[in-house]
A = this chain, B = another copy of it.
Amino acid sequence: MTQTSRLALHDIDAFLRRDFPQLYIHGDIFSVIEIGHGMCRMQMAYHESQLRPGGTISGPAMMALADVALYVALLGAIGEVPLAVTTNFSINFLKKPAPRPLIADCRYMKIGKTLAVGEANLFSEGGDGPVAHVTATYAIPAR
């Protein structure tokens, strides 16, 4: 997985704005920091739309970040595949995230012809240890 990304950062950005407009309805809170072949680091700014009582970030907001980051990491390996779909998504919540930006670090364990399996570790920016861990499977349409 040390190969170059098949998409440049600015192409990813244009792709996300076109195909995932709902990511931007609260402003530019998602940003791709780094992308490689089957890997990606993405940040979600802290925003009141994600709040839970106690100043923490809601589970669904964390899932949304992991889902898009894993999708972007897959694009880094196979190029723009708008019809790749999540088939399984499983998250373990490890500790309460701080009211700070959240980072997702993704890598793929398998990228096959029809299925890809990746994992994401979510961290609070500047924090110590992951706040959640995700594994997800994507079905890749025949090319």
Beyond A85-B96, A114-B139: 7 further Cβ-contacts under 8 Å?
A19-B53, A22-B61, A59-B89, A60-B67, A87-B92, A90-B135, A92-B109
Number of copies: 4
Q: How far is the CB of A66 from chain B (nearest CB, A)?
A: 9
The residues of A with any CB-CB pair to B shorter than 8 Å are: 19-22, 25, 48-53, 58-61, 63-64, 67, 82, 85-96, 109-110, 114-115, 117, 119, 129-130, 133, 135, 137, 139
- CB contact under 8 A between A89 and B88, given known A21-B51, A51-B21, A60-B64: no
Contacts of A52 in B (CB 8 A): 19-20, 22
Contacts of A58 in B (CB 8 A): 20, 22
